[in-house]
Amino acid sequence: MSTSSSLPKWQLALVVGAPVAIGLSYMYYRNRKGSGTISDKRGNHKTRQDTNANKSRSIDDDASSANNSQNQSCKSEMYYKNEGNKQFKMGNYKEAILQYEKAIEVCPKTRNKDMAIFYQNKAAAYEQLKDYATVKQDCTIALELYPEYTKALIRRARALEKLGELEEALIDVNLACLFESYSNPSSLLLADKILEQLGKQHAEADMQNRKFVLPSKHFLRSHLASFTKDPIFSRIKHIDAEDTPQFFKRPLKALQNEDYESIKSICTDIVNSNEFSTLPSSKMEIVLLQATFDILLGQYDSALKAFSSILESKDSSKDVKINALIKRASLHTQLNCSEKAFSDFDEAIKIDEECADIYLHRGQVYLLENRMDAAKRDFDKAILYNPDFTAAFVKKYYTEYRLLIEEKHIHRIEEFVTDVERQCEKFPDHAECDMLYAQIMSDIGNYDKAEAYLERALKKDPDNVAIYVHRGLIHLQKTSSTDKTVEYIKKAIQLDAKCEFAYETLATIEVQRGNLEDAIRLFDEALRLAHTSQQLVHLYSLKNAAKAQLTIKNRYMK
């Protein structure tokens, strides 16, 4: 039995050890390899060539690539270059620059590669002096002389990063990775670092003026079901009961009919009414419902204000306060305030330490932070206090699987799979269990069984478009054919035009197929539907990787 690492975006696990976003560039490179050449701005065609991945990123000690007789004719410039290198290694960077400039002055201008080395070494000295503008300038000259000079590309990328020119830095490091066949870990890490910075920059700008749209009905259904003790949803079963307050019936009807678009305005009308202060204590449940949809609509300040009023109110029941604390903790996580998030979880536990919802949602935060052992403990507690909690069961087994892979307990995978299959039978009506099992089967290469379980999941939950996406991905892993995969994912989008996961996955496939313009358009669709800053950073990183490849294609590919 073979196995592979279960990555968060497991459909992108094409390059072992490569960051996810830069993996997009690799996918594009892999499909273009051998089909084209790189040309410099003057139209001189050069075939791709590998560079030594372990080569120093500082100065070049090597002599010219020309033969010995040619080197002899360049004795004076090599003398100055070697003197410059000595001064550089002694930390005398200004003196090193003077020596490199002498080498440039005496070297025949026809010796492009030697001239490029002198300019690159001079740029290395300026980098030590933190003169990044001159580093950029000298590296640019070096690259005009020798377009495939990966050392100059990486150095200019670092200088551009320092100068805040992240998009151009990304193009340089992508091109360097291309010349190195994506084999140099330090180049890949630099690319990932720049992608993350650029993604955060774009995400922060986006968040300033973003108009959120509500997620799809299926997403909302699943999200709301993750709160088994939500005081509001327990009322839906008794909507027509005599003791259900009249003011509550309208929002409950909207929830029952999945008219989610209307809920926020209904709650706002009730909270802003003149009668609100005279309503019974259950009115705080309306405030809680309003805050829940504030989060989904990205109105975070309004949500935080509502949660504070709930927690300060004497009218709020124990269950209302716990639910408010859990949801506020989740919001703090979205806002990258993990300390506040865990504080809210602790407060909720003080109110009711046997509330399974607390442990499920805290476990999910641990999972996001890659704290697997802590996540597993919380999922175990959620199941202890609510043995029928399907979401907790799925998260628990997913986490255990991740731990087995990360700790390299490959010999235990088969036993684990058998246990998951047996446990799935306890939840015969829940598609999530079948989807978990299908993912594990896919990871270990049993694609037929994975497809069978997804087919079973689809019968249980025909509106779950994520199943179509996963079916497409498993088909891609099984056959390496994208046509049927695209068909599955387009079916998902047809069923649910708000499925961000479908747009993102389809975009990555278009990168693999070399359709970079289509990929960028699809990433934009996914971005339009994103709801958290983490999602935005991730999606902008993927989009920026594709944009960098498109720029390289247009500038250099012939």
pLDDT in tens, 143-198: 999 999 999 999 999 999 999 999 999 999 999 999 999 889 999 999 999 999 99
Burial annotation 447-478 (CB, 10 A radius, 16+ → b, else e): bebbbebbebbbebbeebbbbbbbbbbbbbbb
Q: Which of 10-19, 48-57, 342-351 is the least confident region? A: 10-19
Say which residue, 35 or 153, is predicted with more confidence: 153
Question: pLDDT band at residue 417, thresholds of 50, 70 and 90?
Answer: confident
Q: Which of 93-102, 480-489, 492-501 has the highest average model confidence (pLDDT)?
A: 93-102
User: Is the pLDDT score of 71 beyond 70?
Assistant: no
User: Is the pLDDT score of 420 beyond 70?
Assistant: yes
Q: Which two tokens stand for residue 262?
A: 């209307």
User: Is the pLDDT score of 273 beyond 50?
Assistant: yes
For 304-447, list the strands marked E by DSSP: none
User: Is the pLDDT score of 527 beyond 80?
Assistant: yes
- How many Cβ atoms from other residues are within 10 Å of residue 163's Cβ? 14
Mean pLDDT, range 281-288, rounded to an integer:
94
Q: Which two tokens stand for residue 536?
A: 């935005």
Tell me, what amino acid is at 242?
A: E
Residues 6+ positions from 204 with CB-CB distance below 8 Å: 533
Q: What is the pLDDT of residue 463?
A: 86
Question: pLDDT band at residue 62, thresholds of 50, 70 and 90?
Answer: low
Question: pLDDT band at residue 40, thresholds of 50, 70 and 90?
Answer: very low
Rg (CA), the chain: 29
DSSP-derived 3-state class of residue 557: strand
From 167, 145, 186, select the one nearest 52 (Cα to Cα).
Answer: 186
**pLDDT tens across 327-347, in order?**
999 999 988 899 999 999 999
Tell me, what amino acid is at 313?
A: S
Q: What is the pLDDT of residue 7?
A: 31
Chain-wide mean pLDDT for the chain?
86
Question: pLDDT band at residue 25, thresholds of 50, 70 and 90?
Answer: low
Distance (Å) of CA 234 to CA 195, 253, 324: 45, 13, 16
d(CA 142, CA 100): 13
From 523, 457, 393, 538, select the one nearest 7 (Cα to Cα).
Answer: 538
From 74, 75, 95, select the one nearest 83 (Cα to Cα).
Answer: 95
Q: What is the pLDDT of residue 174?
A: 93
Burial class (CB in 10 A: 0-12, 13-18, 19+), 540: buried
**pLDDT tens across 440-451, in order?**
889 888 999 999
Tell me, what amino acid is at 472?
A: G
Q: What is the pLDDT of residue 241?
A: 78
Q: Which of 390-394, 402-406, 523-527 is the least confident region? A: 402-406
User: Is the pLDDT score of 520 beyond 90?
Assistant: yes
Q: Which of 72-86, 154-168, 345-359, 497-511 is the least confident region? A: 72-86
Q: What is the pLDDT of residue 2?
A: 36
Q: What is the pLDDT of residue 255?
A: 92
Q: What is the pLDDT of residue 67?
A: 39
244 dihedral zone (left: phi>0; alpha: psi -120 to 50; beta): beta
User: Is the pLDDT score of 5 beyond 60?
Assistant: no
Backbone φ and ψ of 45, nearest 5° = -85, 135
Query: What pTM was computed for the model?
Result: 0.80
User: Is the pLDDT score of 369 beyond 80?
Assistant: yes
Distance (Å) of CA 415 to CA 1, 157, 399, 401, 410: 12, 48, 16, 11, 10
Backbone φ and ψ of 355, nearest 5° = -85, 110
Sign of the torsion angle spanned by Cα atoms 233, 239, 245, 251: positive
The rounded percent of the chain whose pLDDT value lies above 70 is: 87
Say which residue, 18 or 60, is predicted with more confidence: 60
Mean pLDDT, range 215-238, rounded to an integer:
86
Q: What is the pLDDT of residue 30?
A: 54
Q: Which of 50-54, 297-301, 318-322 has the highest average model confidence (pLDDT)?
A: 318-322
- How many Cβ atoms from other residues are within 10 Å of residue 376's Cβ? 21
Mean pLDDT, range 409-419, rounded to an integer:
84
Partnered with residue 45 across adjacent β-strands are 39
User: Is the pLDDT score of 53 beyond 90?
Assistant: no
Burial class (CB in 10 A: 0-12, 13-18, 19+), 267: buried
User: Is the pLDDT score of 49 beyond 80?
Assistant: no
User: Is the pLDDT score of 222 beyond 90?
Assistant: no
Q: What is the pLDDT of residue 407?
A: 83
**pLDDT tens across 530-546, in order?**
988 889 999 999 999 99
Beta pairing class for 38-39 and 45-46: antiparallel
User: Is the pLDDT score of 111 beyond 80?
Assistant: yes
Residues 6+ positions from 255 with CB-CB distance below 8 Å: 232, 233, 236, 263
Mean pLDDT, range 398-409, rounded to an integer:
88
d(CA 481, CA 311): 54
Cβ atoms of 175 and 153 closer than 8 Å? yes
Q: What is the pLDDT of residue 65?
A: 41
d(CA 105, CA 77): 8
From 404, 470, 436, 480, select the one nearest 1 (Cα to Cα).
Answer: 404
Residues 6+ positions from 372 with CB-CB distance below 8 Å: 366, 399, 402, 403, 406
Cβ atoms of 310 and 323 closer than 8 Å? no
Q: What is the pLDDT of residue 120?
A: 97
User: Is the pLDDT score of 418 beyond 80?
Assistant: yes
For 12-61, list the strands marked E by DSSP: 38-39, 45-46
Intra-chain end-to-end CA distance of the chain, in Å? 43
User: Is the pLDDT score of 207 beyond 70?
Assistant: yes
DSSP-derived 3-state class of residue 240: coil
Tell me, what amino acid is at 489?
A: I
Domains in the chain, start-ordered, CATH in brackets? 74-208 (1.25.40.10), 213-352 (1.25.40)
User: Is the pLDDT score of 3 beyond 80?
Assistant: no
Residues 6+ positions from 373 with CB-CB distance below 8 Å: 403
Q: What is the pLDDT of residue 75?
A: 59
Q: How does DSSP assign 109-132, residue by residue?
A: TT-HHHHHHHHHHHHHHHHHTT-H
Q: List, in sequence order, the alpha helices (H) in 163-210.
A: 166-179, 185-209
User: Is the pLDDT score of 262 beyond 50?
Assistant: yes
d(CA 430, CA 71): 74
